[in-house]
Amino acid sequence: MRLLAIETSCDETAAAVVEDGRRILSSVVSTQAEVHAPYGGVVPELASRHHIENIVPVIRGAMTEAGIAFHELDAVAVTQGPGLVGSLLVGLQAAKAIAWVHGKPLVPVHHVAGHIQAPFLAHDDIPLPALALVVSGGHTSLVEVPEEGTYRLLGRTRDDAAGEAFDKVSKLLGLGYPGGPVIDRLSQGANDHAVEFKIARIKDGRADFSFSGIKTAVLYHVRREGIPPVADPAQVPPGVRDLVASFQRAVVSALVRGLVRGAEKHRPRSLLVTGGVAANTLLRRDSLGLPIFIPPLALSTDNAAMIGAAGFVGFRKGRRAGPDLNAEPSLPLS
Ligand code: KG4
Ligand code: ZN
| Ligand in nearest proximity to the CA of 12 | 1
Instruction: Calculate how far, in angstroms, residue 103's C-alpha sits from the geometric centre of ligand 1.
Output: 37
Contacts of 43 (CB under 8 A, 6+ apart): 35, 36
Q: How far apart are CA 61 and CA 32, in angstroms?
A: 17
Could you tell which of 167, 277, 302 is best to mutate to test the pocket of ligand 1, judged by most ligand atoms within 8 Å of the CB? 277
One-letter amino acid of 206: R
Under DSSP, is residue 86 helix (H, G, I), strand (E, B) or coil?
Answer: helix
Starting from the CA of residue 306, give the closest ligand.
Answer: 2
- Beta-sheet pairing, 23-31 with 75-81: unpaired
* Dihedral-angle region of residue 17 (phi above 0 means left; psi in -120 to 50 means alpha; beta otherwise): beta
Best of 36, 134, 166, 302 for a ligand 1 pocket test (most atoms within 8 Å of beta carbon): 166
∠ CA 209-147-204 to the nearest 5 degrees? 25
**What was the pLDDT predicted at 90?**
98
The set of protein residues with a Cβ atom below 6 angstroms from ligand 1 is 10, 136-138, 163-164, 166-167, 178-181, 184, 275-277, 279-280, 301-302
Rounded to 10°, the helix 238-266/162-172 angle is 170
Asked if 81 contacts 9 with a C-beta cutoff of 8 angstroms, the reply is yes
Q: How far is the CA of 237 from the centre of ligand 2 (A)?
A: 32
Chunked into runs of 10 residues, the chain (334 residues) has average pLDDT values of 97 97 97 89 93 98 98 98 97 98 98 97 95 95 96 95 96 93 97 92 85 95 96 92 98 94 95 94 84 94 97 97 97 90
Residue whose CA is at the smallest distance from ligand 1 atom 3:
301
Nearest CA to ligand 1 atom 14: 180
- Ligand of minimum distance to the alpha carbon of 310: 2
Q: For position 201, what pLDDT does the model report?
A: 78
Residue nearest to atom 7 of ligand 1 (CA): 137
Contacts of 98 (CB under 8 A, 6+ apart): 4, 59, 70, 76, 104
Nearest C-alpha to atom 22 of ligand 1 is from which residue?
Answer: 180
